[in-house]
Amino acid sequence: MRSAKVMAARVIAVIAVVVTTGVLVATQSVASTPGASAPDGPGAQSYLDLARKDCFGTARNTTSKVWFTVADGVLSDTFSPSIENSNVNTLQYIVTDGRSFTDMQERDMTYTIGSPDRSGMVCQVTSGDPKHGFALVTDYLTDPARDSVVMHTTLEPLRGTASASLRNLKVYVRYDA
């Protein structure tokens, strides 16, 4: 009786190994076939965001179900209603005088990161372009009562630049979902 149980257990183990090995071999042969494509087409390109983040934020309570990250000085992800769902690729500013230059925040400006309050619940990004004499100062935070990321941004002259030179500048938002 005991040897029959041991024999049955060995047979099940051998079948499991054979089935698993067969699946691995089949997967490897399909994957290694040159020019092979997925059934019904290649599918959509996968999205992988930057792993390095400058800031990560959320509300101080559990009422707000939103999280955000900042990378390369711009809003790089928002997650809502759970940390598993990314809803934004990037949200950044574009500054132009309408004639001679157009600066995209991530591409054409340098930035610094800080936090203006001791709690660390606010991420402040200062993006600037010394050549054109301006800076964008953005505070990123979450609203504890709502699922929202709040961005408060000011356009400021850089030191040694007249604030009158900002009059001709236009600021636009570029949202990449």
Reported CATH class of domain 55-176:
mainly beta
Please give the Cα distance from 58 to 143 (Å, whole number). 9
Place 38 in a pLDDT band, splitting at 50, 70 and 90. low
In sequence order, what E strands does the chain have?
55-58, 67-71, 74-79, 90-96, 102-104, 110-114, 123-129, 134-142, 149-157, 170-176
Place 35 in a pLDDT band, splitting at 50, 70 and 90. low
Q: Is the pTM of this model over 0.95?
A: no
- Over residues 113-171, the pLDDT tens digits come to 999 988 888 999 999 999 999 999 999 999 989 989 999 999 999 987 877 778 899 99
Indicate the DSSP class of residue 54: S
Residue 24 has pLDDT above 80, yes or no: no
Indicate the DSSP class of residue 45: P
Structural domain spans, the chain:
55-176
Residue 9 has pLDDT above 50, yes or no: no
Q: What residues have CB less than 8 Å from 155, skipping those under 6 apart? A: 95, 134, 135, 136, 166, 169, 171
